[in-house]
């Protein structure tokens, strides 16, 4: 088990906890003048038995996923489990204690375990098990909270790193030099087009600089930067780049991590179209599923999918890392040959739908 509940620590806490419980019972016996080596043996039997059955309880609740249950669903289950474990534990303690005393003093009529006090011992163990469960689940919830905090800070760090990677990968000095050079060449030949290209470059730079580590942005905003990026690439690739955008209007408010779509488009151009002398076709489609609960994005480009084993591209790795941190198993990303179109690479992205107004209510308070 990861975190603070890994096996070694678990067994350490189990051993110390039940040993203290047995020691406390021995101290009570000494206070009332009943302390003896026999009492010590009985307390050892009690502590060992409760250690065993509490461990079996832990195995059961782990196997059935009780640590993920809401409190109202968990409490009645724990009540029944504690009753069962208490009865079985006390009965086992009674039998072992009676066996111990019968072996110790076979010629006496000692009953060993005080069965007349069965109810009192039962209540004692029942409430002790509630305390054990409170500590166990408390540690679990604390561990989950700590993991969530770690993921939160890791996400913030990854987003900041992604911002720097984006500037390095998509807007590196070589790219900027070529873009500005082409714009300069157009100033005299086609001033209007040169101004338009300068606008696209400025928008791309501003978007990269000013998003301030936002976790998610509307698809409409992401599409604007994608179009600016495509305009700049079209200026350099000219007739080698043909692209189309097909986006369902209802999908425009849906949220996704910033630069995610732009990274997929950049990956398609850099590894798919740019190396081909004849260039090719790039298409971007986005739609909601039938239930309106999922955003489906597909980026297709002419080319052959030939990844390096164990070394995904910068853009692909960036997308995978942020999706995993933001959505976990609720998001899916895949890239490979298009099963329907020959000589085509398909990158597919599926995200749970969030809208800006919903995100405001879902964001935890600080």
Query: Residue 34: which residues within 8 A CB-CB, separation 6 or more?
Result: none
How far apart are the two ends of the chain, measured CA to CA in Å?
29
DSSP percent split of the chain into helix, strand, coil, nearest 5: 65, 15, 20
Question: Reading across the β-sheet that carries 294-302, which strands appear in turn?
Answer: 241-247, 280-288, 294-302, 344-352, 332-337
H or E stretch covering 238 = none
**What is the Cα Rg of the chain in Å?**
33
**pLDDT at residue 117, rounded to an integer:** 61
Count CB-CB contacts under 10 A for residue 66.
Answer: 19
Separation in Å, CA 137 to CA 47, 58, 68, 70, 304 = 21, 10, 10, 12, 51
**pLDDT at residue 282, rounded to an integer:** 96
Q: What is the DSSP pairing of strand 255-256 with strand 280-288?
A: unpaired
**d(Cα 110, Cα 115) in Å, to the nearest integer?**
12
- The three-state secondary structure class of 253 is coil
Q: What is the DSSP pairing of strand 280-288 with strand 241-247?
A: parallel
Whole-structure pTM value: 0.51
Set out the domains of the chain in order of their start, with CATH numbers: 3-149 (no CATH), 170-362 (3.30.565.10)
**pLDDT at residue 1, rounded to an integer:** 45
Which residue in 320, 322, 330 sits closest to 354, CA to CA? 330
**d(Cα 271, Cα 336) in Å, to the nearest integer?**
13
**pLDDT at residue 362, rounded to an integer:** 42
Q: What is the mean pLDDT of each run of 10 residues along the chain (366 residues)?
A: 63 87 79 70 86 91 85 89 89 84 63 59 86 87 81 74 53 58 77 81 73 76 89 84 95 90 89 91 95 94 81 70 82 93 94 61 37
**pLDDT at residue 113, rounded to an integer:** 54
**d(Cα 291, Cα 224) in Å, to the nearest integer?**
26
- Which 8-state DSSP code applies to residue 307? P
**d(Cα 178, Cα 185) in Å, to the nearest integer?**
11
Query: Residue 4: which residues within 8 A CB-CB, separation 6 or more?
Result: 139, 142, 143, 146
**pLDDT at residue 351, rounded to an integer:** 94
Which residue in 254, 172, 257 sits closest to 213, CA to CA? 257
Strand locations in the chain, DSSP E?
217-218, 241-247, 255-256, 280-288, 294-302, 332-337, 344-352
**d(Cα 64, Cα 80) in Å, to the nearest integer?**
15
**d(Cα 247, Cα 164) in Å, to the nearest integer?**
28
Count CB-CB contacts under 10 A for residue 255.
Answer: 23
Q: From the DSSP assignment, how many helices (H) and strands (E) are in the chain?
A: 10, 7
**Angle (CA) 8 9 13, round 5°:** 120
Separation in Å, CA 74 to CA 51, 79, 128, 142, 290 = 22, 9, 18, 17, 35
Is the separation of the CB atoms in 7 and 1 below 8 Å? yes
Per the structure block, which two tokens stand in for 283? 């298409």
């Amino acid at each position: 088990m990861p975190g603070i509940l890994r096996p070694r620590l678990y067994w350490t806490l189990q051993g110390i906890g039940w040993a203290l419980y047995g020691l406390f019972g021995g101290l009570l016996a000494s206070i009332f003048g009943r302390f003896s080596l026999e009492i010590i043996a009985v307390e050892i039997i009690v502590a060992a038995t409760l250690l065993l059955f509490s461990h079996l309880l832990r195995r059961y609740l782990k196997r059935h996923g009780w640590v993920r249950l809401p409190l109202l669903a968990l409490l009645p289950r724990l009540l029944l489990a504690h009753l069962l474990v208490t009865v079985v534990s006390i009965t086992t303690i009674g039998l072992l204690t009676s066996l111990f005393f019968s072996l110790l003093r076979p010629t006496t009529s000692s009953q060993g375990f005080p069965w007349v006090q069965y109810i009192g011992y039962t209540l004692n163990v029942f409430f002790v098990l509630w305390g054990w469960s409170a500590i166990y689940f408390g540690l679990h919830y604390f561990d989950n909270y700590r993991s969530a905090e770690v993921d939160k800070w890791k996400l913030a760090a990854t987003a900041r790193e992604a911002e720097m990677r984006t500037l390095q990968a998509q807007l590196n000095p070589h790219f900027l030099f070529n873009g500005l050079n082409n714009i300069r060449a157009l100033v005299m030949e086609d001033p209007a087009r040169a101004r338009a290209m300068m606008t696209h470059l400025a928008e791309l730079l501003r978007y990269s600089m000013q998003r301030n580590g936002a976790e998610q942005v509307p698809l409409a905003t992401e599409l604007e930067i994608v179009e600016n990026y495509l305009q700049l690439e079209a200026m350099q690739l000219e007739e080698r780049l043909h692209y189309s955008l097909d986006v369902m209007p209802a999908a425009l408010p849906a949220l996704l991590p910033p630069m995610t779509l732009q990274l997929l488009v950049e990956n398609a151009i850099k590894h798919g179209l740019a190396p081909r002398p004849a260039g090719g076709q790039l298409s971007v489609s986005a739609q909601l599923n039938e239930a309106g609960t999922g955003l489906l994005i597909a980026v297709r480009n002419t080319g052959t999918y030939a990844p390096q084993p164990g070394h995904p591209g910068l853009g692909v790795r960036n997308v995978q890392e942020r999706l995993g941190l933001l959505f976990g198993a609720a998001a899916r990303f895949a890239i490979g040959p298009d099963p329907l179109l020959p000589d085509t690479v398909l990158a597919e992205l599926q995200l749970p739908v969030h809208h800006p107004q919903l995100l405001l209510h879902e964001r935890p308070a600080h």
